[in-house]
Amino acid sequence: TLYEDAQPKWQASFNTNVVFFKNFEFNVLIHRSHKNHNSSLNQELTDEGGNSPDWSTLNKDGVPVGNARKLGQPGITTRQFIVDASYTKIREMSLYYTIPKTIFGNWASKFESLRVGVSGNNIAMWTPYYGYDPEAANFGNRPTGATVDLLAYPSARRLFFHLNLNF
């Protein structure tokens, strides 16, 4: 039974590079994926263990929501674990400053430029997804199983410091 599509309805990226005050450079890459779906076994595991945030909330029949969602209960299928994995993510961001040569006085003739900066990957993400990361998958990017998330590692968040000296 086909429930939803793992492929997004659309994706878009926005990248900009802005130079301001002559010596500063700012770059950002934002990515949006809309209406892709994952099979989130994270939710199933937390329901089975009674650890869901809403587990003890009573549904209209007076049954705890988490208990009512357990597989094996009458009328419960894997459909409830197919979830919206849409997201907006700041994939990359950087800020650099090129230090003017005049600051260094006499030994400025020894080099062309000095640039310092900071950059990062996977800075922030906004998503309704329940798991760690809607892009994480237990089976890589294969055509089948690519969107099965069973507590897969999220994308790494990294921060870099740069020092660039040109001679």
Average pLDDT for runs of 10 along the chain of length 167: 81 97 96 91 76 76 72 70 92 95 74 91 92 80 74 88 90
Q: In which element (H, E) is residue 44 found? A: helix 41-48
- Torsions phi, psi for 34 (to 5 deg): -120, 125
Cβ contact 85:127 at 8 Å: yes
**What does the pLDDT read at residue 4?**
81
Cβ contact 98:23 at 8 Å: yes
- Torsions phi, psi for 55 (to 5 deg): -55, -45
Q: In which element (H, E) is residue 46 found? A: helix 41-48
Which amino acid appears at position 99 of this protein?
A: I
